[in-house]
Amino acid sequence: MRSMVNNGTWRKQLSMLSLLPLPDRMLKYFPPGFILRDPVYRRVEKLKRSGGKAALMLFHLEDYHQWLKEATPDFLVRVEKELRKIFLETARMYITEDDFIGVKQHLSNEISLFVRFDSHQDFGRCGLVAGKIREEFEKRIERQFSLHMESSLTIRTGCSVIEDSANGMGFAIEAAYQQAMAAAAKNLPAHFAMQTMELKEIIRMENLTVLTQPIMDLKTGEVYGWEILSRGPKNSVFHNPVELFEFADQTDLLPELEWLVIQKAIREITERQIKEQVFINITPVSLSDPQLLGRLLEHLKLSGLDSTQFIFEITERHSINDFEQMAGIVRSYRTQGFRFAVDDAGSGYSSLQSISELIPDIIKIDKSVIRNIDREAVKQAMLRSLLYFAENINCTVIAEGVEREEEANVLLQNQVHMGQGYYFARPQPFEHGRNVIQFQTLKEKIIHMRKMASGQ
Protein backbone atom coordinates (compact mmCIF):
# COMPACT_ATOMS: atom_id res chain seq x y z
CA MET A 1 0.00 0.00 0.00
CA ARG A 2 2.81 2.42 0.96
CA SER A 3 4.63 1.76 -2.34
CA MET A 4 1.44 2.53 -4.28
CA VAL A 5 1.09 5.89 -2.43
CA ASN A 6 4.75 6.67 -3.00
CA ASN A 7 4.47 5.82 -6.70
CA GLY A 8 1.43 8.07 -7.00
CA THR A 9 3.23 10.91 -5.27
CA TRP A 10 6.30 10.54 -7.45
CA ARG A 11 4.18 10.44 -10.61
CA LYS A 12 2.48 13.69 -9.54
CA GLN A 13 5.81 15.36 -8.81
CA LEU A 14 7.29 14.19 -12.13
CA SER A 15 4.20 15.49 -13.90
CA MET A 16 4.67 18.90 -12.28
CA LEU A 17 8.37 18.94 -13.16
CA SER A 18 7.53 18.23 -16.79
CA LEU A 19 5.58 21.51 -16.87
CA LEU A 20 8.50 23.66 -15.74
CA PRO A 21 9.98 24.28 -19.23
CA LEU A 22 6.64 25.52 -20.58
CA PRO A 23 6.25 29.31 -21.09
CA ASP A 24 4.08 31.27 -18.64
CA ARG A 25 1.36 31.89 -21.23
CA MET A 26 0.67 28.14 -21.33
CA LEU A 27 0.38 27.89 -17.56
CA LYS A 28 -2.06 30.68 -16.81
CA TYR A 29 -5.05 28.44 -16.05
CA PHE A 30 -4.87 26.98 -12.52
CA PRO A 31 -1.09 26.38 -12.49
CA PRO A 32 0.30 24.08 -9.79
CA GLY A 33 2.03 25.69 -6.82
CA PHE A 34 5.54 25.83 -8.24
CA ILE A 35 8.38 26.43 -5.83
CA LEU A 36 10.67 27.90 -8.49
CA ARG A 37 8.22 30.33 -10.13
CA ASP A 38 4.60 31.36 -10.32
CA PRO A 39 3.57 31.87 -13.96
CA VAL A 40 0.49 33.99 -13.15
CA TYR A 41 2.43 36.32 -10.87
CA ARG A 42 5.15 36.61 -13.52
CA ARG A 43 2.56 37.53 -16.17
CA VAL A 44 1.14 40.23 -13.87
CA GLU A 45 4.65 41.53 -13.20
CA LYS A 46 5.46 41.63 -16.92
CA LEU A 47 2.25 43.56 -17.65
CA LYS A 48 2.98 46.07 -14.86
CA ARG A 49 6.55 46.60 -16.06
CA SER A 50 5.23 47.51 -19.51
CA GLY A 51 2.94 50.14 -17.99
CA GLY A 52 -0.24 48.05 -18.01
CA LYS A 53 -2.84 47.81 -15.25
CA ALA A 54 -4.05 44.62 -13.57
CA ALA A 55 -6.96 43.75 -11.31
CA LEU A 56 -7.92 40.74 -9.24
CA MET A 57 -11.47 39.33 -9.23
CA LEU A 58 -12.05 37.02 -6.30
CA PHE A 59 -14.79 34.38 -6.25
CA HIS A 60 -15.47 33.00 -2.78
CA LEU A 61 -17.57 29.80 -2.66
CA GLU A 62 -19.58 30.13 0.54
CA ASP A 63 -20.34 26.97 2.56
CA TYR A 64 -18.21 25.02 0.09
CA HIS A 65 -16.96 22.44 2.57
CA GLN A 66 -20.45 21.82 3.93
CA TRP A 67 -21.67 21.44 0.34
CA LEU A 68 -18.96 18.85 -0.39
CA LYS A 69 -20.29 16.61 2.38
CA GLU A 70 -23.30 15.84 0.18
CA ALA A 71 -21.13 14.33 -2.57
CA THR A 72 -20.72 10.58 -2.90
CA PRO A 73 -17.12 9.32 -2.49
CA ASP A 74 -16.77 8.39 -6.17
CA PHE A 75 -18.01 11.81 -7.29
CA LEU A 76 -16.01 13.77 -4.72
CA VAL A 77 -12.72 13.24 -6.57
CA ARG A 78 -14.20 14.91 -9.69
CA VAL A 79 -15.69 17.97 -8.01
CA GLU A 80 -12.64 20.25 -8.06
CA LYS A 81 -11.79 19.39 -11.66
CA GLU A 82 -15.38 19.99 -12.77
CA LEU A 83 -15.59 23.30 -10.91
CA ARG A 84 -12.41 24.55 -12.54
CA LYS A 85 -13.65 23.56 -15.97
CA ILE A 86 -17.00 25.30 -15.43
CA PHE A 87 -15.30 28.42 -14.12
CA LEU A 88 -12.97 28.73 -17.12
CA GLU A 89 -15.84 28.25 -19.55
CA THR A 90 -17.84 30.92 -17.74
CA ALA A 91 -14.99 33.43 -17.41
CA ARG A 92 -14.18 33.17 -21.12
CA MET A 93 -17.74 34.32 -21.89
CA TYR A 94 -16.97 37.74 -20.40
CA ILE A 95 -13.16 38.13 -20.52
CA THR A 96 -11.28 38.32 -23.82
CA GLU A 97 -8.12 36.27 -24.25
CA ASP A 98 -6.04 39.47 -24.42
CA ASP A 99 -7.37 40.63 -21.04
CA PHE A 100 -7.14 37.18 -19.42
CA ILE A 101 -3.87 37.19 -17.41
CA GLY A 102 -4.47 34.02 -15.44
CA VAL A 103 -6.47 32.20 -12.80
CA LYS A 104 -5.35 30.66 -9.51
CA GLN A 105 -6.96 28.79 -6.66
CA HIS A 106 -5.72 30.28 -3.38
CA LEU A 107 -7.85 27.94 -1.27
CA SER A 108 -10.18 25.11 -2.24
CA ASN A 109 -13.14 27.52 -2.02
CA GLU A 110 -11.53 30.65 -3.51
CA ILE A 111 -10.70 31.33 -7.15
CA SER A 112 -8.70 34.41 -8.17
CA LEU A 113 -9.08 35.69 -11.71
CA PHE A 114 -6.38 38.13 -12.88
CA VAL A 115 -7.38 40.52 -15.68
CA ARG A 116 -5.90 43.44 -17.58
CA PHE A 117 -7.73 46.77 -17.80
CA ASP A 118 -6.92 50.00 -19.62
CA SER A 119 -8.57 52.90 -17.80
CA HIS A 120 -10.42 54.05 -14.70
CA GLN A 121 -13.74 53.52 -16.47
CA ASP A 122 -12.58 50.11 -17.67
CA PHE A 123 -11.84 49.05 -14.10
CA GLY A 124 -15.19 50.46 -13.08
CA ARG A 125 -16.82 47.63 -15.00
CA CYS A 126 -14.81 45.05 -13.04
CA GLY A 127 -17.52 44.64 -10.41
CA LEU A 128 -20.25 44.35 -13.04
CA VAL A 129 -18.32 41.73 -15.03
CA ALA A 130 -17.49 39.78 -11.85
CA GLY A 131 -21.20 39.83 -11.02
CA LYS A 132 -22.12 38.39 -14.42
CA ILE A 133 -19.49 35.67 -14.09
CA ARG A 134 -20.76 34.84 -10.61
CA GLU A 135 -24.40 34.55 -11.73
CA GLU A 136 -23.53 32.31 -14.69
CA PHE A 137 -21.08 30.25 -12.61
CA GLU A 138 -23.78 29.59 -9.98
CA LYS A 139 -26.30 28.55 -12.67
CA ARG A 140 -23.87 26.14 -14.32
CA ILE A 141 -22.87 24.59 -10.98
CA GLU A 142 -26.56 24.09 -10.20
CA ARG A 143 -27.15 22.32 -13.53
CA GLN A 144 -23.96 20.24 -13.38
CA PHE A 145 -24.28 19.00 -9.80
CA SER A 146 -28.05 18.89 -9.24
CA LEU A 147 -28.08 15.06 -9.54
CA HIS A 148 -25.33 14.69 -6.93
CA MET A 149 -25.99 17.58 -4.52
CA GLU A 150 -29.25 18.63 -2.87
CA SER A 151 -28.19 22.18 -1.98
CA SER A 152 -26.66 24.90 -4.15
CA LEU A 153 -23.54 27.03 -3.76
CA THR A 154 -23.58 30.76 -3.06
CA ILE A 155 -20.66 32.73 -4.48
CA ARG A 156 -19.50 36.13 -3.31
CA THR A 157 -17.24 38.38 -5.36
CA GLY A 158 -14.79 41.22 -4.75
CA CYS A 159 -12.50 43.22 -7.02
CA SER A 160 -9.27 45.08 -6.34
CA VAL A 161 -6.54 46.85 -8.30
CA ILE A 162 -3.07 45.30 -8.07
CA GLU A 163 -0.99 48.29 -6.99
CA ASP A 164 2.77 48.76 -7.33
CA SER A 165 4.69 47.69 -4.24
CA ALA A 166 8.28 48.17 -3.19
CA ASN A 167 8.07 44.76 -1.49
CA GLY A 168 7.57 42.85 -4.75
CA MET A 169 4.73 41.42 -6.79
CA GLY A 170 3.86 38.72 -4.27
CA PHE A 171 3.19 41.38 -1.63
CA ALA A 172 1.15 43.50 -4.09
CA ILE A 173 -1.03 40.56 -5.09
CA GLU A 174 -1.54 39.50 -1.47
CA ALA A 175 -2.68 43.06 -0.62
CA ALA A 176 -5.11 43.02 -3.58
CA TYR A 177 -6.38 39.59 -2.53
CA GLN A 178 -7.03 40.76 1.05
CA GLN A 179 -8.93 43.81 -0.18
CA ALA A 180 -11.00 41.78 -2.65
CA MET A 181 -11.73 39.26 0.11
CA ALA A 182 -12.93 42.05 2.41
CA ALA A 183 -15.26 43.30 -0.33
CA ALA A 184 -16.57 39.78 -0.94
CA ALA A 185 -17.14 39.16 2.78
CA LYS A 186 -19.18 42.36 3.09
CA ASN A 187 -21.12 41.49 -0.08
CA LEU A 188 -20.53 45.00 -1.41
CA PRO A 189 -22.23 46.30 -4.58
CA ALA A 190 -20.66 46.22 -8.05
CA HIS A 191 -19.77 49.94 -8.07
CA PHE A 192 -17.69 49.47 -4.90
CA ALA A 193 -14.56 48.49 -6.87
CA MET A 194 -14.74 51.60 -9.05
CA GLN A 195 -15.28 53.90 -6.07
CA THR A 196 -12.38 52.27 -4.21
CA MET A 197 -10.10 53.03 -7.14
CA GLU A 198 -11.45 56.59 -7.29
CA LEU A 199 -10.73 57.13 -3.59
CA LYS A 200 -7.21 55.72 -3.92
CA GLU A 201 -6.62 58.13 -6.79
CA ILE A 202 -7.91 61.05 -4.70
CA ILE A 203 -5.45 60.15 -1.94
CA ARG A 204 -2.57 59.57 -4.37
CA MET A 205 -3.14 62.88 -6.15
CA GLU A 206 -3.96 64.67 -2.86
CA ASN A 207 -7.14 65.88 -4.55
CA LEU A 208 -8.76 67.31 -1.41
CA THR A 209 -9.84 70.87 -0.68
CA VAL A 210 -9.19 72.18 2.83
CA LEU A 211 -11.71 74.63 4.32
CA THR A 212 -11.72 76.40 7.67
CA GLN A 213 -14.60 77.30 9.97
CA PRO A 214 -14.03 79.68 12.91
CA ILE A 215 -14.65 78.81 16.54
CA MET A 216 -15.69 82.00 18.30
CA ASP A 217 -14.85 83.00 21.88
CA LEU A 218 -18.27 84.05 23.17
CA LYS A 219 -16.75 86.20 25.92
CA THR A 220 -14.35 88.34 23.89
CA GLY A 221 -15.82 87.96 20.40
CA GLU A 222 -12.40 86.94 19.06
CA VAL A 223 -11.67 83.94 16.87
CA TYR A 224 -10.36 81.28 19.25
CA GLY A 225 -9.49 78.75 16.58
CA TRP A 226 -10.29 77.14 13.25
CA GLU A 227 -11.68 73.72 12.52
CA ILE A 228 -10.08 72.15 9.45
CA LEU A 229 -12.71 70.61 7.18
CA SER A 230 -12.16 68.82 3.90
CA ARG A 231 -14.06 68.20 0.69
CA GLY A 232 -13.41 65.73 -2.10
CA PRO A 233 -13.38 66.70 -5.79
CA LYS A 234 -16.42 68.53 -7.15
CA ASN A 235 -18.79 66.45 -9.32
CA SER A 236 -17.80 63.39 -7.28
CA VAL A 237 -19.77 61.45 -4.68
CA PHE A 238 -16.74 62.05 -2.44
CA HIS A 239 -17.24 65.81 -2.45
CA ASN A 240 -19.55 65.17 0.49
CA PRO A 241 -17.31 64.64 3.56
CA VAL A 242 -19.70 62.11 5.12
CA GLU A 243 -19.51 59.89 2.01
CA LEU A 244 -15.77 60.46 1.77
CA PHE A 245 -14.86 59.37 5.29
CA GLU A 246 -17.46 56.60 5.63
CA PHE A 247 -16.28 54.98 2.41
CA ALA A 248 -12.63 55.33 3.48
CA ASP A 249 -13.57 53.48 6.67
CA GLN A 250 -15.23 50.68 4.67
CA THR A 251 -12.15 50.22 2.48
CA ASP A 252 -9.56 50.45 5.28
CA LEU A 253 -8.22 53.68 3.72
CA LEU A 254 -9.20 55.87 6.67
CA PRO A 255 -5.69 56.23 8.17
CA GLU A 256 -4.29 57.26 4.76
CA LEU A 257 -7.09 59.76 4.19
CA GLU A 258 -6.84 61.30 7.67
CA TRP A 259 -3.06 61.57 7.38
CA LEU A 260 -3.55 63.43 4.07
CA VAL A 261 -5.95 65.85 5.82
CA ILE A 262 -3.36 66.45 8.57
CA GLN A 263 -0.65 67.15 5.98
CA LYS A 264 -2.97 69.53 4.12
CA ALA A 265 -3.80 71.28 7.40
CA ILE A 266 -0.11 71.76 8.23
CA ARG A 267 0.47 73.30 4.80
CA GLU A 268 -2.57 75.54 5.16
CA ILE A 269 -1.45 76.79 8.60
CA THR A 270 2.06 77.45 7.33
CA GLU A 271 1.10 79.16 4.06
CA ARG A 272 -1.71 81.27 5.58
CA GLN A 273 0.26 81.98 8.74
CA ILE A 274 -2.64 80.96 10.97
CA LYS A 275 -1.78 81.77 14.59
CA GLU A 276 -4.96 80.62 16.35
CA GLN A 277 -5.70 77.09 17.58
CA VAL A 278 -6.39 74.50 14.89
CA PHE A 279 -8.93 71.68 15.32
CA ILE A 280 -8.53 68.51 13.24
CA ASN A 281 -10.90 65.53 13.27
CA ILE A 282 -9.29 62.16 13.84
CA THR A 283 -10.64 58.67 14.50
CA PRO A 284 -9.35 56.12 17.02
CA VAL A 285 -8.28 54.02 14.00
CA SER A 286 -5.71 56.61 12.92
CA LEU A 287 -4.65 57.46 16.47
CA SER A 288 -3.85 53.78 17.01
CA ASP A 289 -1.28 53.85 14.20
CA PRO A 290 2.06 53.60 16.08
CA GLN A 291 3.88 55.56 13.34
CA LEU A 292 1.51 58.55 13.26
CA LEU A 293 2.97 60.53 16.19
CA GLY A 294 6.54 60.29 14.86
CA ARG A 295 5.50 61.36 11.35
CA LEU A 296 3.43 64.20 12.77
CA LEU A 297 6.26 65.58 14.92
CA GLU A 298 8.65 65.37 11.96
CA HIS A 299 6.26 67.35 9.72
CA LEU A 300 5.73 69.99 12.41
CA LYS A 301 9.48 70.39 12.86
CA LEU A 302 9.99 70.88 9.11
CA SER A 303 7.14 73.40 9.01
CA GLY A 304 8.30 75.32 12.08
CA LEU A 305 4.97 74.80 13.86
CA ASP A 306 4.33 74.07 17.53
CA SER A 307 2.30 71.05 18.66
CA THR A 308 0.46 73.22 21.22
CA GLN A 309 -1.42 74.85 18.32
CA PHE A 310 -3.16 71.55 17.50
CA ILE A 311 -6.32 70.14 19.03
CA PHE A 312 -7.45 66.71 17.80
CA GLU A 313 -11.19 66.07 17.82
CA ILE A 314 -11.84 62.39 18.50
CA THR A 315 -14.84 61.64 16.33
CA GLU A 316 -17.52 59.00 16.67
CA ARG A 317 -17.01 57.67 13.12
CA HIS A 318 -15.27 54.68 14.64
CA SER A 319 -16.02 53.41 18.15
CA ILE A 320 -13.33 52.95 20.80
CA ASN A 321 -13.02 49.28 21.74
CA ASP A 322 -10.30 49.60 24.38
CA PHE A 323 -10.53 52.81 26.41
CA GLU A 324 -7.51 51.96 28.54
CA GLN A 325 -5.34 51.62 25.44
CA MET A 326 -6.77 54.80 23.88
CA ALA A 327 -6.19 56.74 27.10
CA GLY A 328 -2.54 55.67 26.95
CA ILE A 329 -2.27 56.86 23.34
CA VAL A 330 -3.84 60.22 24.23
CA ARG A 331 -1.34 60.61 27.10
CA SER A 332 1.59 60.02 24.74
CA TYR A 333 0.34 62.81 22.45
CA ARG A 334 -0.27 65.14 25.38
CA THR A 335 3.34 64.77 26.55
CA GLN A 336 4.29 66.25 23.16
CA GLY A 337 1.98 69.24 23.62
CA PHE A 338 -1.11 68.18 21.66
CA ARG A 339 -4.58 68.63 23.15
CA PHE A 340 -7.81 66.72 22.63
CA ALA A 341 -11.51 67.40 22.23
CA VAL A 342 -14.36 64.91 22.27
CA ASP A 343 -16.86 65.59 19.51
CA ASP A 344 -20.66 65.17 19.45
CA ALA A 345 -21.26 65.35 23.23
CA GLY A 346 -24.92 64.85 24.03
CA SER A 347 -25.66 62.84 20.89
CA GLY A 348 -25.37 59.44 22.58
CA TYR A 349 -23.84 57.33 25.33
CA SER A 350 -20.56 56.64 23.49
CA SER A 351 -19.45 60.30 23.46
CA LEU A 352 -20.20 60.63 27.20
CA GLN A 353 -18.18 57.49 27.89
CA SER A 354 -15.30 58.94 25.85
CA ILE A 355 -15.41 62.08 28.02
CA SER A 356 -15.38 60.14 31.30
CA GLU A 357 -12.63 57.75 30.18
CA LEU A 358 -10.31 60.14 28.30
CA ILE A 359 -10.91 63.41 30.23
CA PRO A 360 -10.45 65.69 27.21
CA ASP A 361 -9.35 69.32 27.26
CA ILE A 362 -12.43 70.41 25.32
CA ILE A 363 -16.00 69.12 24.97
CA LYS A 364 -17.87 69.92 21.77
CA ILE A 365 -21.63 69.83 22.28
CA ASP A 366 -23.40 68.22 19.34
CA LYS A 367 -25.53 70.31 17.00
CA SER A 368 -28.55 68.10 17.81
CA VAL A 369 -28.56 69.65 21.31
CA ILE A 370 -28.09 73.22 20.05
CA ARG A 371 -30.67 73.11 17.25
CA ASN A 372 -33.78 75.05 18.42
CA ILE A 373 -32.44 75.10 21.98
CA ASP A 374 -34.27 78.42 22.55
CA ARG A 375 -37.58 76.59 22.05
CA GLU A 376 -36.96 73.39 24.04
CA ALA A 377 -36.53 73.42 27.82
CA VAL A 378 -35.17 69.85 27.83
CA LYS A 379 -32.25 70.85 25.63
CA GLN A 380 -31.52 73.83 27.84
CA ALA A 381 -31.43 71.50 30.86
CA MET A 382 -29.05 69.16 29.01
CA LEU A 383 -26.81 72.11 28.14
CA ARG A 384 -26.63 73.17 31.81
CA SER A 385 -25.81 69.59 32.86
CA LEU A 386 -22.97 69.36 30.33
CA LEU A 387 -21.62 72.74 31.43
CA TYR A 388 -21.69 71.63 35.09
CA PHE A 389 -19.95 68.36 34.18
CA ALA A 390 -17.30 70.21 32.13
CA GLU A 391 -16.62 72.66 34.95
CA ASN A 392 -15.99 69.80 37.38
CA ILE A 393 -13.42 68.14 35.11
CA ASN A 394 -11.90 71.49 34.05
CA CYS A 395 -12.97 71.29 30.39
CA THR A 396 -13.72 74.08 27.95
CA VAL A 397 -17.08 73.81 26.13
CA ILE A 398 -17.76 74.56 22.46
CA ALA A 399 -21.33 74.55 21.13
CA GLU A 400 -21.52 73.30 17.52
CA GLY A 401 -24.17 73.90 14.89
CA VAL A 402 -25.24 77.41 15.94
CA GLU A 403 -27.42 78.64 13.07
CA ARG A 404 -29.74 81.27 14.57
CA GLU A 405 -29.34 84.36 16.75
CA GLU A 406 -31.85 82.95 19.26
CA GLU A 407 -29.66 79.86 19.72
CA ALA A 408 -26.59 82.07 20.21
CA ASN A 409 -28.47 84.09 22.85
CA VAL A 410 -29.15 80.93 24.90
CA LEU A 411 -25.42 80.12 24.80
CA LEU A 412 -24.54 83.62 25.99
CA GLN A 413 -27.13 83.48 28.79
CA ASN A 414 -25.61 80.19 30.00
CA GLN A 415 -22.03 81.48 29.68
CA VAL A 416 -20.96 78.84 27.15
CA HIS A 417 -17.28 79.41 26.41
CA MET A 418 -17.32 79.15 22.60
CA GLY A 419 -19.59 78.70 19.61
CA GLN A 420 -19.29 77.38 16.08
CA GLY A 421 -21.78 77.26 13.22
CA TYR A 422 -23.31 78.93 10.18
CA TYR A 423 -24.57 81.83 12.33
CA PHE A 424 -20.95 82.93 12.78
CA ALA A 425 -19.47 81.76 9.46
CA ARG A 426 -19.71 78.93 6.96
CA PRO A 427 -16.71 76.73 6.11
CA GLN A 428 -14.61 78.45 3.45
CA PRO A 429 -11.03 78.78 2.26
CA PHE A 430 -8.93 80.84 4.67
CA GLU A 431 -8.28 84.35 3.34
CA HIS A 432 -6.65 86.54 5.95
CA GLY A 433 -7.61 90.00 4.65
CA ARG A 434 -11.28 89.18 4.17
CA ASN A 435 -11.45 87.31 7.47
CA VAL A 436 -10.11 90.28 9.47
CA ILE A 437 -12.92 92.55 8.23
CA GLN A 438 -15.58 89.84 8.57
CA PHE A 439 -14.69 88.91 12.14
CA GLN A 440 -14.27 92.46 13.38
CA THR A 441 -17.95 93.00 12.57
CA LEU A 442 -18.84 89.65 14.16
CA LYS A 443 -16.83 90.53 17.29
CA GLU A 444 -18.81 93.74 17.78
CA LYS A 445 -22.04 91.79 17.33
CA ILE A 446 -21.10 89.13 19.91
CA ILE A 447 -20.05 91.77 22.46
CA HIS A 448 -23.35 93.60 21.94
CA MET A 449 -25.33 90.34 22.33
CA ARG A 450 -23.42 89.48 25.51
CA LYS A 451 -24.27 92.85 27.04
CA MET A 452 -27.93 92.33 26.15
CA ALA A 453 -27.88 88.80 27.64
CA SER A 454 -26.36 90.03 30.90
CA GLY A 455 -28.84 92.96 31.10
CA GLN A 456 -26.18 95.67 30.84
Instruction: Tell me the backbone φ, ψ of residue 215, rounded to 5 degrees.
Output: -115, 115
pLDDT band at 351 (very low <50, low <70, confident <90, very high): low
Q: Which of 161, 166, 143 is nearest to 153 (CA)?
A: 143
Percent of the chain with pLDDT over 70: 86
pLDDT at 420 over 90: yes
pLDDT value for 20: 42
The full set of domain ranges for the chain reads: 17-190, 206-454
Who contacts 403 (Cβ-Cβ below 8 Å, separation ≥6)? 371, 421, 422, 423
Mean pLDDT of 424-450: 78
Among 42-56, 177-191, 319-333, 402-416, the range scoring the smallest mean pLDDT is: 177-191
What is the rounded distance in angstroms from the CA atom of residue 283 to the CA atom of residue 270?
Answer: 24
pLDDT value for 350: 54
pLDDT value for 18: 42
Q: How does pLDDT run across 327-346, given as a tens digit for each residue?
A: 999 999 999 999 999 887 75
pLDDT value for 316: 63
Distance of CA 390 to the CA centre of its chain: 32
pLDDT value for 349: 52
Spell out the alpha helix ranges (H) of 33-119.
39-49, 64-68, 73-94
Average pLDDT, the chain: 84
Q: How does pLDDT run across 252-306, given as a tens digit for each residue?
A: 889 999 999 999 999 999 998 999 999 999 999 999 999 999 999 999 999 999 9
Mean pLDDT of 124-139: 88
Mean pLDDT of 308-331: 86
Extract the runs of DSSP E, i.e. beta strands, from 232-283.
277-282
pLDDT at 313 over 80: yes
pLDDT value for 447: 85
Q: Do domains 17-190 and 206-454 have the same CATH topology?
A: no
Percent of the chain with pLDDT over 90: 46
Q: Which is higher by pLDDT, 353 or 155? A: 155
Q: How does pLDDT run across 67-86, given as a tens digit for each residue?
A: 888 877 777 778 888 899 99
Q: Are strands 339-345 and 310-314 parallel, antiparallel or unpaired?
A: parallel
3-state secondary structure of 305: coil
What is the rounded distance in angstroms from the CA atom of residue 401 to the CA atom of residue 420?
Answer: 6
Q: Identify the sign of the CA torsion 58, 63, 64, 67.
A: negative
pLDDT value for 181: 86
pLDDT value for 264: 95
pLDDT band at 408 (very low <50, low <70, confident <90, very high): very high
pLDDT band at 430 (very low <50, low <70, confident <90, very high): confident
Mean pLDDT of 196-203: 87
What is the rounded distance in angstroms from the CA atom of residue 173 to the CA atom of residue 38?
Answer: 12
Among 108-122, 315-329, 406-420, the range scoring the smallest mean pLDDT is: 315-329
Mean pLDDT of 213-218: 94
pLDDT at 206 over 70: yes
CATH 3.30.70.270 fits 17-190, yes or no: yes
What is the CATH code of the structural domain delimited by 206-454? 3.20.20.450
pLDDT at 107 over 90: no
Could you tell me the end-to-end alpha-carbon distance of the chain, in angstroms, rounded to an integer? Answer: 104
pLDDT at 25 over 70: no
Q: How does pLDDT run across 83-103, given as a tens digit for each residue?
A: 999 999 999 999 998 899 999
Q: Indicate whether this model's pTM tops 0.75.
A: no
Mean pLDDT of 207-229: 93
pLDDT at 377 over 80: yes
pLDDT band at 33 (very low <50, low <70, confident <90, very high): low
What is the rounded distance in angstroms from the CA atom of residue 292 to the CA atom of residue 285?
Answer: 11
pLDDT value for 37: 56
pLDDT at 22 over 80: no
